[in-house]
A and B are shown apart, each in its own frame.
Chain A
Amino acid sequence: MVNDRAQLYTMEGIAAGLIMLLTAYLVLGSTSVYTPGDTHITDMQLEQVGSDILRVMDTPLKLNNSLVDYQPTRTDLELIVNTTDAWAFNDNFTSKYLCNNKAVAREINVTCTGYQTNAFIWYRGNFLGSYLLRYPSPTLLNLSRTEPGVRLTHWIHTGGPPGNTPNAENKSMSPEPQELLLEVVIWKA
């Protein structure tokens, strides 16, 4: 006669083994590996700060009757865009706001070195076009140790087409108020 005493132990062992296997499967499946490309937390902070800076730059310094008497250049940013003043843009954006510990981005000040900006302005005259407002020094385009950059956009309302641009098509825009899109890429070189 075959001895069947071990049958219950066998079934119990199989059940326990299945439970352990499933547990291991669950444990391994619940861990997710976050690569630097997945975590946009620091990028988000920079993007938020950058957007806020652009908004502040596009706020009129004087609110006296600007709702009634429309002035062609009302904000710092509008003036910069109208004159295509690359130095003023970078100075305002980086020195006056981003890296100024008395301004918005106080937390960034600790490591506020080497931030680079590149800015484009998009317009629509007869056609859609763009021109460069500010570009970084080519020696700083070494991307070997660059952290991920962020792209910011800001709409600008100007009283007329931006002057001082090299684009002939842009100069042919009618002297009406224009809605321009400023596109800025910031990264840390």
Chain B
Amino acid sequence: MEGMNTEGQWIIMMGFLVSLGIFFLAIVISQSTLVGQTTAEGVLEFPKNDIQDLRHIILEVENFERTHCLSGGGCSAIRGNMTQQIQQISLYRKSAIVNFTTSFEWNCGIPATRTKTARDVDIHYNNGVTIYDEKTTVFFVNSCP
């Protein structure tokens, strides 16, 4: 190659480097659609309505239990049935394992001036794709005598 004019080598090399740079940028851009799609699918797949709905019914059960079972009436069997209904229908119709517990830790107005008290509700949800755990607190006016 001794007969060739070698002054253009820099130009060729820089052109090559620039094209490599553009190439890597192209790789980054080509990934962007994939990233957007997987993110959107992740959002779509999250069972937002299911979880909101489950919260709603669990808080209904908590409300029933608080207003009926704890003021003297022995209705733990009813409360257990409600839990089982939610669990079994969830498993059968929504393919979701659901569990929830409510705390029994409250004290009736100690000190006596206290009018508001609170309970914890633990919610667990697992449909094989999404695992969701929540501990929520329900505040209520103390109806203890």
Contact = CB atoms under 8 A, between A and B. Distances in A.
Given A32-B33, A176-B78, A177-B64, A19 B53 contact: no
Interface in A139-175: 152-157
A122 interface: yes
A51 interface: yes
A26 B89 contact: no
Nearest to B71: A68
Residue from B29, B33, B44, B85 with most neighbouring chain A CB atoms (10 Å): B85
Contacts of B94: 153
User: B interface, by DSSP: helix, strand, loop or mixed?
Assistant: helix
Given A157-B61, A177-B82, A5 B1 contact: yes
Categorize the interface residue count of chain B. Answer: 35 or more
B86 A155 contact: yes
25 contacts: A5-B3, A8-B1, A12-B12, A22-B23, A30-B29, A30-B32, A40-B44, A44-B44, A70-B64, A70-B68, A123-B85, A124-B88, A128-B88, A128-B89, A153-B49, A155-B54, A155-B86, A157-B64, A176-B81, A179-B57, A179-B61, A179-B82, A179-B85, A179-B89, A180-B89
Interface of A: 4-5, 7-8, 12, 15-16, 19, 22-23, 26-27, 29-32, 40, 44, 47-48, 51, 55, 67-68, 70, 122-124, 128, 152-157, 176-181, 183
Interface of B: 1, 3-4, 12, 16, 19-20, 23, 26-27, 29-34, 37, 44, 49-50, 52-54, 56-57, 60-61, 63-64, 67-68, 78, 81-82, 84-86, 88-89, 92-94, 140, 143
